[in-house]
Structure formats: C-alpha cells, structure tokens
Amino acid sequence: MSGSFYQQVDRGRFESTPLTAGPWSAESQHAGPPSALLARALERFEAEPEVRLARLSVDVLGPVPIAPLDIEVHRVRPGRSVELLEATASVDGRPALVARGWRMRRTPADFPTVGTHAGPPAPDVLERGAMMSYAYQDGYLSVVDFAFTSGSGDELGPARAWGRSRANLIEGEAMTGWQHTVVVADSSSGVSMGSDPLTHPAINCDLVVSLHRDPGPGWVHLDTETIGSPGQGVLTDTRISDDHGSIGRCVQNLYGRRSG
C-alpha cells in the first residue's frame, strides 16, 4: 500500500493526510476519501451480518479542508428489514459533508437471479494512464490509479476505465469493497470530463451510489458519461462493475459555469 488518507485519533475523529488533496487545490480534499469515510461509518453503525448497505447519497456542502474530520451517525428511520441512517463529517463544528444510507436485509439464498450481471472483462495487465495531468497530482491522484480502456483522463467525452486506490482509507485498516468503490466512483466526472475545466468547469456537489451486490476487492470499472445542456444542467451517469461483473450505478450532479 501507499500510505493512507486518514489516521484515526479518536473514536469519531480522523486526521486528514495530504493524500486526500484533490485535483484543484493542495488545501482541499477530493470528495472521494471523505465520502468513503462516511460509507465506513454507515457500514459499521450497529452492524449485523445479514444487513448490507444498499445505497449511499453524499451531499458536499462546500470545499473540505485538509483538517481533522469529526464523524457522527444516527438512525433516521428504524426498521428490522430496511433502515435509513445519516452520517455527518464536520470540520471545527461545521458540517462539510452529509451522507444518507439505506441499509437492507440481504436477499434469501433462494431469491431468483434477475437482470444482467455481466460486466467488462478485466485485462490481464492494467497500466496506469494519464488522469487530469494539468491538475494537482500530489494528493489523491498520486495514489489512485486509472487504466483507460476507452477515452482518456486528459480528453473530453465518455470513457471507460478501471480504477483502484493504492492507499488505505485509514492507516492500518483494509478498506471494504464499498469503501474502495466510493473512493474511486467519485472520480467518475473526472474520468468522463464533459467540458473544458479551464473555460467551463463543472464540479460535482453530490455523489449517489446504488449497488445490488457488495463489491469484491481489486479494481473498479467505471463506464461513464457526462451530459450537459446550455441553460440547464450537468450530470455524470456511471455503470460500475468489479472483476466479477456488474455491481450497480453512480450518479453525480455537477455545477457547470463559465470561468472568469
């Protein structure tokens, strides 16, 4: 591994390391690591083996400084089979991200197989490709690899890429498949850049990930497209797979503007 995004200093407090820095500033975090930290909190809250996280929605309330994050979790809607949880990451008492997660009881062993589960075959060799080479490279982008099978991290338009993090989420602790998927999936709008970020930047203010199956370890595949309309909005839509097949979908809403 190549370091970690956070060091746990107390039960609900996590020191942010420089590896969390995003592509636009050495002082602000990429939203992937703190979103994964919230996913971890939702997974671990009064956890039961027969209950799984099915959907995560994260709202990014503003730039997240590289500073200690305090994580709190509470139950919004209790239930024996389906429950809704909410987790908040705060900096100096100010909420920076808020996540809600639906946790559901696992389907029974005799539940029928429904739909298409096939995903893209993983190549025998995956090589790290260019990813936003014009942006800040010494944080998140230094430890999260993207291997493109179509498109490029330096081109506009739809793209397909396998992604993985070489850093742990928390020092000394292996990530779950859910956490690793969130770290990678928040880069979907960068994998498929819809417009020139120097003239018409579009930055996501949220992340919604729904998975019908818990991800396995290893590379995560993003089949992604960013769609924008003049006078309307911008959206990134992504199909997510692991090396065993399809696992779900990710959607990001982006604020698109004209630079200057």
pLDDT of res. 66 = 98
Which positions ≥6 away from 98 have C-beta within 8 Å?
A: 58, 59, 61, 86, 87, 88, 89
pLDDT, position 120: 94
Nearest to 12 by CA among 66, 65, 72: 72
pLDDT score at 57: 98
Q: Count of residues for the chain? A: 260
CA proximity to 39, closest of 115, 125, 99, 83: 99
Dmax (CA) for the chain in angstroms is 58
Residue 12: closest CA among 74, 86, 89: 89
The pLDDT, as a whole number, for residue 1 is 65
Cα three-residue angle 11-15-16, rounded to 5 degrees: 135
Mean pLDDT by 10 residues, the chain (260 residues): 92 97 96 98 96 98 97 97 98 98 97 93 86 93 96 95 97 97 97 93 96 93 97 97 96 92
What pLDDT, on the 0 to 100 scale, is given for residue 217? 83
Q: Which of 132, 135, 180 is nearest to 156 (CA)?
A: 132
pTM of the model: 0.96
Nearest to 169 by CA among 89, 229, 249, 253: 89
CA angle 101, 159, 132 (to 5 degrees): 85
Dihedral through CA 105, CA 106, CA 112, CA 115, nearest 10? Answer: 100
Which backbone phi and psi does 147 adopt, to 5 degrees?
-110, 110
Beta strand pairing call for 168-170 and 4-10: parallel
Q: Which two tokens mark 13?
A: 């407090």
Q: What is the DSSP letter of 244?
A: T
Distance CA 249, CA 240 (A): 5
Apex 86 CA angle, 205 and 73, nearest 5: 120
pLDDT at 205: 96
